[in-house]
């Protein structure tokens, strides 16, 4: 009886660890324009079963309400900015460090390579979009929304 109970508890623990999602999964972030420093949107991250993260705009702030993504390509072309997936393919590389992603700027429709680092307190996400090498890019710091 004790062996059976311990086996069930052990399997439950292993199952719960396997289902543990990434700290970014389900979180919402206020994006801040790196040039004007004004808030742009709220994005929300989701995670696939294989651990790949994406994020879409769930709320539009300051000045872009009702605007369409006229410069986006593919399925988001001429669609409202709210609902556009701006981050895709992001994967955890190390503790609080993510890379291998892509980020789309709805203003110009261009897609860039993307990496990010979650602050130790989980309140900010420092992201870098770039073409080619990371040194040739732009930084943005997003603020977690509770």
- Residue 146 CA to residue 129 CA, distance in Å, equals 25
pLDDT at 17 over 50: no
What is the CATH topology of the domain spanning 22-145? Lipocalin (2.40.128)
User: Can you give the pTM of this predicted structure?
Assistant: 0.82
pLDDT at 110 over 50: yes
Per-residue pLDDT tens for 50-79? 999 999 999 998 766 678 889 988 888 999
- The reported pLDDT for the residue numbered 135 is 84
């Amino acid at each position: 009886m004790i062996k059976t109970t311990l086996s069930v508890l052990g399997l439950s623990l292993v199952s719960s660890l396997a289902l543990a999602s990434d700290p970014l999964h389900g979180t919402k972030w206020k994006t801040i324009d790196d040039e004007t420093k004004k808030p742009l949107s709220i994005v929300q991250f989701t995670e696939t079963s294989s651990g790949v993260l994406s994020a879409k705009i769930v709320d539009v702030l300051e000045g872009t309400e009702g605007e369409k993504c006229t410069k986006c390509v593919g399925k988001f072309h001429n669609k409202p900015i709210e609902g556009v997936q701006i981050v895709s393919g992001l994967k955890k590389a190390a503790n609080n460090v993510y890379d291998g992603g892509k980020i789309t700027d709805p203003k110009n429709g261009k897609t860039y390579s993307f990496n990010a680092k979650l602050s130790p307190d989980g309140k900010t996400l420092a992201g870098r979009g770039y073409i080619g090498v990371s040194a040739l890019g732009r930084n943005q710091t997003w603020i977690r929304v509770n």
